[in-house]
Amino acid sequence: MPDLDIKALLFDVFGTCVDLRAGLKRAIEAVARSHDVTIDAYAFAGAWRDEYQPAVEQVRAGKRPFVALEHLNRESLDTVLPRFGLDALSEDERRELNFAWRRLDPWPGAVAGLTRLKRRFIIAPHSNGNLAMLVGMAKFGGLPWDCILGAEIAQSYKPNPASYRGAVAMLGLAPGEVMMVAGHNGDLRAAQAQGLRTGFIVRPLERRPNASPEFEPTGAWDVVAKDFHELADRLGA
Amino acid sequence: MPDLDIKALLFDVFGTCVDLRAGLKRAIEAVARSHDVTIDAYAFAGAWRDEYQPAVEQVRAGKRPFVALEHLNRESLDTVLPRFGLDALSEDERRELNFAWRRLDPWPGAVAGLTRLKRRFIIAPHSNGNLAMLVGMAKFGGLPWDCILGAEIAQSYKPNPASYRGAVAMLGLAPGEVMMVAGHNGDLRAAQAQGLRTGFIVRPLERRPNASPEFEPTGAWDVVAKDFHELADRLGA
């Protein structure tokens, strides 16, 4: 990588660092069991997750002021629960279930790869998750971040340009000194448009049965790697 | 501590976690030597540091919009240099010298104490330093923060109330679940007024020859400890 002068790596989190659907599925199964309700927990996780983009889009489009993702997720949860016969969940149970987003398992090898990258670079999540969510997730899974960035710090959701510009400004770096790392082309396209370097991580497990080709690299990314260890190899870390 | 239900510890940094004057002195000596200028480096460090509160006060009082501490420090540096015969420093040298605030040594035992506290609590700096400065300092000294908070994240300098409220809100916690840890009474007084718990660390080395009694605990703090290990003992970490 002779042309790269990277000082910091920003990571997408959901799907790139952690397995979102498996973690949500586990939490939902436990709640459903305690209520003697039989549900398709994967379908529930998918339905909850599918509310995410429309909810965030309301903020991105300026139709409502910035609110933290956990607040949006909680609204979505309240929408989805009745569809699966789980209307009876108490306020405390809903609050706890919403915290499932803080208890997601890192992909195998992710922590070791990040630990290696941290020796050479500043590493930070740049996620649409809010700070408290990302700190909780880091404590749960051992993700060794140097600091927490993301939509809440920038007060702008990805892939809005202000989100990437805000994170880069907070680091006091030039955009070309920062690499966005993600398993989704859209995130990297938006980062690249703001002058950031790009690293695509292929996460086939993230792929859904009817998924678009979103999980194959389709852009001119600076690095394409199968995991964080290969990314470290490619960046000389 | 049967009455405390602490989930996160916020740390003052300059003087509480790191030795500010020794680090500045070292950097200034190196620059002066390279210019064949003999200066009292401790006096320079003191003069530079003494510009800090008046500069921050301009922002706290609303006389200028929020700007990052490194920006204020750079203005102060440009003011102080001529007084010590160092007008000749280049732009690059001034920029580098300003980064001395990122290269401050943790007090002995601070990293080990924080590492211990991190196992049980969220630990974060809540400093008037900006995020890039605090990340650089953490990388330099090995400070194992879970996330970086502080004036820049809250867009308000300590001891303004909005600074503490902003940090607590970002953590998604109640004020009583958060303890401010500092070696200065003023910081704790302001935090206590916002409902935070307080931990005073006695840092006698921080004391200057003509110092006020600021470095002795003078308030009704929840914990008074001689270092982070004693704090960990007292908090059951």
ipTM: 0.94
C-beta atoms of B135 and A148 within 8 A: no
Range of weakest confidence among A73-77, A175-179, B202-206, B225-229 = B202-206
- Minimal CA separation from B228 to chain A, in Å: 20
Residues 6+ apart with CB under 8 A from A174: A168, A195
Question: How far is A29 from A72, CA to CA, in rounded Å?
Answer: 22
Q: Do B132 and A70 touch (CB under 8 A)?
A: no
CA nearest to B134 within chain A: A147
- Which pLDDT does position B21 carry in this prediction? 87
Q: How many angstroms from the chain centroid is the CA of residue B224?
A: 18
Report yes or no: B201 and B227 within 8 Å, Cβ to Cβ. yes
Q: Residue B8 forms beta bridges with which residues? A: B122, B178
| Chain A interface disruption, residue of B10, B73, B118, B147, most A CBs within 10 A | B147
pLDDT, greater one: B7 or B218? B7
Residue type for A12, please?
Answer: D
Q: What is the DSSP string of A83-111?
A: GGT-TT--HHHHHHHHGGGGSPPBPTTHH
CB pairs under 8 A between A and B: 50
Q: How far apart are CA B147 and CA B142, in angstroms?
A: 14
The beta-carbon neighbor of B146 closest among A68, A135, A170 is: A135
- Put simply, the answer to whether B147 touches A170 (Cβ < 8 Å) is no
Query: Chain A: nearest CA to B208, how far in angstroms?
Result: 32
Partner residue opposite B139 with nearest CB, options A68, A122, A131: A122
Q: Nearest CB to A147: which of B70, B131, B172?
A: B131
Asked whether the beta carbons of residue B152 and residue A138 sit closer than 8 angstroms, the reply is no
Three-state secondary structure along chain B?
Answer: CCCCCCCEEEECCECCCECHHHHHHHHHHHHHHHCCCCCCHHHHHHHHHHCHHHHHHHHHCCCCCCCCHHHHHHHHHHHHHHHHCCCCCCHHHHHHHHHHHHCCCECCCHHHHHHHHHHHCEEEECCCCCHHHHHHHHHHHCCCCCCCCCHHHHCCCCCCHHHHHHHHHHHCCCHHHEEEEECCHHHHHHHHHCCCEEEEECCHHHCCCCCCHHHCCCCCCCEEECCHHHHHHHHCC
Write out the two tokens for B112. 């080990």
Work out the mean pLDDT of chain B and round it to a whole number. Answer: 94
pTM, two decimals, is 0.95
End-to-end CA, chain B:
11
B interface with A, Cβ–Cβ < 8 A, is 68, 70, 122, 130-132, 134-135, 138-139, 145-148, 152-153, 170-173
Q: Two tokens at A80?
A: 């989805």
Closest CA to B42 of B203, B209, B234, B162: B209
Which residues in B lie closer than 8 A to residue A152 (C-beta atoms)? 170
Whether A172 and B70 lie within 8 Å, measured CB to CB: yes
What string of pLDDT tens digits covers the 237 residues of chain A? 547 899 999 999 999 999 998 999 999 999 999 999 999 999 999 999 999 999 999 999 999 999 999 999 999 999 999 999 999 999 999 999 999 999 999 999 999 999 999 999 999 999 999 999 999 999 999 999 999 999 999 999 999 999 999 999 999 999 999 999 999 999 999 999 999 999 999 987 655 554 555 678 989 999 999 999 999 999 999
- Rounded to 5 degrees, φ, ψ at A91 are -55, -45
Contacts of B139 in chain A (CB under 8 A): 122, 146
**Containing H/E element for A57?**
helix A52-60
pLDDT of B209 over the 60 cut: no
Partner residue opposite A146 with nearest CB, options B68, B138, B152: B138
In a mutagenesis test of the B interface, which of A9, A170, A173, A178 is the best target, namely the one with the most B β-carbons within 10 Å? A170
d(CA A96, CA B39): 60
